[in-house]
Structure 1
Amino acid sequence: MKNILFLSLLSYLAASTNVAPAVVSEKADILKASATKVTLSIYNSEDYIANGDDDSLDIVAAFKQKVLEEDNVDIDVAYSTFDTNEIMLSNLQTGAQNYDLICTSDYMVEKMMANDLVVPFKKGDERKALYSHNYEAWEKDNYLQYSSPFFDKLYGDITVKMNGKDEPISDYMRGYMWGTLGIMYNPEFSVYQDRGLTPEDVKKDMSSYSSLWDDSYQGTFQIKDSMRDSYAIALLEAYSDEFDSLLERYEKGELTSEKYNKDINIIFNNISHIDEFNELMEELGRDGHESSSDIIDKVERALSSLKDNSYGLEVDSGKTDIQTGKRTGINLAWSGDAVYAIDSAEEYGTHLYYSVPRIGANIWLDAWVIPTTVQNQEYAQKFIDFISDPDIAAANMDYIGYTSTIAGDSMIDQTRAWYDVRMDIFYEYDEENDDFAYDDEDNLILKEEYTSLSEDEFNSLFRTGKGTIEGKEYASWDEYSEENDLGWTKVDLDYFFQGSLTDYEDGIDTIFYTDEYEKYEVDGHMITTGRSFYAQYPPSDIVDTLMVMEDYGDNNEYVLKMWESVKSGSVPTTIVVVLLVEGVLLLTVLAYFLTKNGIAKSLRKKRRQERKA
């Protein structure tokens, strides 16, 4: 087992320079005196990178130190933030400021490409030439080496027309954070009990988007005041029969995973692929031909009906309203927000869950692009190299809370420390710091009963569960879980980490055991729901059902008009006022628990207490 990395700025810099932290500042001053000065301009969403708060790694400062050490360059990072992708695009198009590197969403990357606002990342010989004065120090392309291959499968075939030529989106972006849009819910919400629904009923129902249109859940959920997110949910319902039909064929082995994922993405982006969509509908035995306006009208009807059945629209209050267990029982949530809400709700005694419905969900990706205004492409790309180092990416993810696109040893170790229940069996825990205990060299401290094992013996025991555990012999982890009535689930994250690990044995080294998953049978099919781990890394059996929502292209105007029409039917003013006022009050109460490390530490402590019990 490798060390679990939780880096602070000083410990990182000290390690990189092989000197004591107190000497780092003095050494930096000496280097700066003779260093070349350059500027790198970065544009990102607010609070979307570790900055030294809450004992996190200050990534910009650490990057500046590395550049100074490696290149003898004193780099000034002009780091600014924006509120929305649309504001970012407007600022870029008006030329208010030139940027070297911008973080934005996948659909916005397509829009920027279509408007010739970005340039490709340099690879291979071009990258070597770009780094020519000190290539050896930056030879490893961390992003290409450690970015999960999962994203090549999802985004590899997406192209954008640029100057009459189809350009792969993957040449113009570098992934940063990702997740899903799913259903977060409280199965013990009092209103559901009053309506005769058991927690198990709710868990089963949340495997289908159709439940949101059901009277049983009327007035108990909020939908996002976000055109793209709400459009996606309504489209999945409007074409649920078609999605179900394709899933059934896939499960019977009639479709390969590639063909299945391609087909569901055609339906999911049907207004942009009309000819392919109608050909697919004919293949599925559907009559008639649908135009883009037909599709948008169909989605509008579904969306209007959904809004009528909901409690109202929300921008960011949904993840807080659901936590107390009093206002709402369901929230359509981004997976990263779901992780925070699930963890924070524990303080109120509310046990939230997260599900990706059986027919699939929207997967989103935030990525870095280099705009045509770039003045310093060399250090724009070196910044990506730096933050794509698994050590740095793990520290960044620890602060942000969303899931990084980067895999590698440090990332799987950190994820294992958070979610793999076997860690509590083998390693000492520091109750005072609410974290695993480390020795002076930052190695995890084994419990005394396992210290006599050789490294090979320990790794074999951890991987298989075959041997002496807590003084008793077991043949496997499944037997250990069953005999101790733990209800563990075996989860394989090979789809994400394959090819990125130093020591890798197929079917073993990407296995996790968790107590956060629950399985139920619904209409003859096994469905899975879960909590934070499920939201952070969706289980492998649903990854083929995830869909990328492309930019609407020429249909943007029509979808926007549809969305404005749906909203104009409007939510009662009293609900809006109550949501705004009480949302602010709740946010104040949650101030501590919504800090990154506050959540992480309180959750780790609670998990340990529950497992001990």
Structure 2
Amino acid sequence: MKKMLAFLFGLCLLCAPLPASASEGVTINVYNWGEYIANGTDGSMDVNAEFTRRTGINVNYTTFDSNESLYSKLAGGGADYDIIIPSDYMVSKLISEGRLAPLDFENIPNFQYIDKQFQNPSYDPENLYSVPYTWGVVGIFYNTDYVEEVTSWDALWDSRYAGKILTFDNPRDAFAIAQFRLGLDVNSTNPDDWEEAAQLLKGQKPLVQAYVMDQIFDKMESGEAWLAPYYSGDAAILVDNSDTIAFAVPEEGTNFFVDAICIPATSQHKAEAEAYINFLCEPEISGANMDYVGYSTPETAAKEYLDPEVADSPLHYPSGEVVAKAQVFVNLPQEVSSLVDKLWAEVKMGGPGESAVLIAIILGFLAVYIAIILYKRRKRKREME
């Protein structure tokens, strides 16, 4: 069904007249999450190719695997992107640091199709810098051959599954899981709350096989791992491709996220980038794109172009009850962000105690090395005398 819809839609696109473009031959650099755009496989539309066909604007498309790696590229100053798609809290961080260009919505008339509930969001309250791309929630994928039905985040601390548990390789998502389990605010500014969550994550570490992002696909599909938290939009990829993988949103609550399209302040092709945003907001394009990607569209008008099984699926469009118990990330104050980074390093290294032991060992080897060098120098000096 999905492939047939995509095929018919593709035929309509091929018959559409091509408008003249003053930007023909220009190349825009697009930086997006992995597995996050329809690319022509499995009967889907190739979104970037269709954009080029319509406008003459070429797309140089690369991917990242976390908001933090995206930020590192931008903050490092070596990146030259025209389009980026960060998550809500990262959008607000980039706005606060002056790293995003205000959008000219005269060039984005299809913004009219974005549902009101996604306009003027908390991370961009005046809607000056971003346009919603997708939304979703975080849940747990689990292998039903080995894992009992999952209803709680507790499953990721269950010693019966030691060595078969994956978790996020980024601090915000990983800490949120611990915070939901503890009943804490995921946007807390109280250092004690983050310390408490860090202690819970340190206790989980011996059970964790690996800290990963997109690697969960291979590890879960192969049976190498049995449990992994990830984003609901990927349920289509994992659940539909396996008879043994299920997805559940834990009862304690979860993260409700929005990924949004933005233009870096350093963009050299802003008008062309706005044309790309406008293209992605066309209901037909958004529908065909999300039909492949599996994430939820912020445009009700686009759902008309989705496979009905997707449009009606609670995996893609969770119930109001699930959404009501979810929390949205906001940008944290710098002092809290610094504390989170420090605690995350401790979690992955095994805590400050193990870190101190490692440092002591390194210093010990260094002291022995220096002593050997000094001994050889004194010996050489005596021989010369």
Cα displacement (A) at 1:77: 2.5
The 1:239–1:119 alpha-carbon spacing in structure 2 relative to 1, beyond 3 Å, is same
Say whether the 8 Å CA contact 2:28–2:59 is kept in structure 1. yes
| Structure-2 separation of matches of 1:170 and 1:304 | 39
Aligned residue for 1:42, secondary structure, equals strand
Amino acid at match of 2:206: D
Partner of 1:387: 280
Say whether the 8 Å CA contact 2:310–2:316 is kept in structure 1. no
Partner of 1:42: 29
Partner of 2:369: none
Cα displacement (A) at 1:118: 1.0
Partner of 2:187: 269
Partner of 2:167: 223
Cα displacement (A) at 1:215: 4.6
Aligned residue for 2:263, secondary structure, equals strand
Say whether the 8 Å CA contact 1:8–1:57 is kept in structure 2. no
Partner of 1:478: none
Q: Which of 358, 381, 385 is the equivalent residue of 2:251? A: 358
Cα displacement (A) at 1:228: 1.6
Amino acid at match of 1:269: N
The 1:413–1:98 alpha-carbon spacing in structure 2 relative to 1, beyond 3 Å, is closer
| Structure-2 separation of matches of 1:77 and 1:390 | 22
Amino acid at match of 2:133: Y
Aligned residue for 2:262, secondary structure, equals strand
Partner of 2:12: 12
Provide structure 1 residue ranges, at least 5 long, that are not aligned to the other structure.
Answer: 18-23, 68-74, 132-137, 160-167, 193-201, 241-266, 272-291, 421-511, 513-532, 571-613
Q: Give the superposed CA RMSD.
A: 3.1
Partner of 2:358: none
Aligned residue for 2:78, secondary structure, equals coil
The reply to whether residue 320 of structure 1 matches residue 218 of structure 2 is yes
Cα displacement (A) at 1:371: 1.8
Larger RCO: 1 or 2 (CA < 8 Å, sep 6+): 2
| Structure-2 separation of matches of 1:97 and 1:224 | 25
Partner of 2:129: 172
Cα displacement (A) at 1:86: 3.9
Amino acid at match of 2:306: Q
The reply to whether residue 301 of structure 1 matches residue 258 of structure 2 is no
Cα displacement (A) at 1:540: 2.3
Amino acid at match of 1:157: S
Partner of 1:81: 62
| Structure-2 separation of matches of 1:222 and 1:60 | 32
| Structure-2 separation of matches of 1:374 and 1:8 | 36
| Structure-2 separation of matches of 1:185 and 1:549 | 25
Partner of 1:109: 91
The reply to whether residue 57 of structure 1 matches residue 45 of structure 2 is yes
Partner of 1:488: none
Amino acid at match of 1:298: E
- TM-score, with length taken from structure 1: 0.51
Aligned residue for 1:365, secondary structure, equals strand
Partner of 1:428: none
1:75-474 paired onto structure 2 within 5 Å: 75-84=56-65, 85-96=67-78, 98-123=80-105, 127=106, 141-145=109-113, 147-152=114-119, 156-158=121-123, 168=125, 170-189=127-146, 202-203=148-149, 206-215=150-159, 217-239=161-183, 267-271=185-189, 292-324=190-222, 326-346=223-243, 350=244, 352-408=245-301, 410-416=302-308, 418-419=309-310
The 1:88–1:316 alpha-carbon spacing in structure 2 relative to 1, beyond 3 Å, is closer
Moved more, 220-229 or 554-563: 220-229
Say whether the 8 Å CA contact 2:255–2:328 is kept in structure 1. yes
| Structure-1 separation of matches of 2:7 and 2:284 | 8
Note the alpha carbon deviations across 1:181-223, whole angstroms, 9 max, x for none: 111223441xx5xxxxxxxxx33xx222234334555554222
Amino acid at match of 2:138: L
Identity among equivalent positions (%) equals 28
Note the alpha carbon deviations across 1:10-62, whole angstroms, 9 max, x for none: 62333323xxxxxx8xxx9xx68xx6646252322255323334443232332
| Structure-1 separation of matches of 2:48 and 2:155 | 45
Partner of 1:567: 348
Amino acid at match of 1:566: V
Aligned residue for 1:404, secondary structure, equals coil
1:581-592 paired onto structure 2 within 5 Å: none
The 1:97–1:319 alpha-carbon spacing in structure 2 relative to 1, beyond 3 Å, is closer
Aligned residues: 345
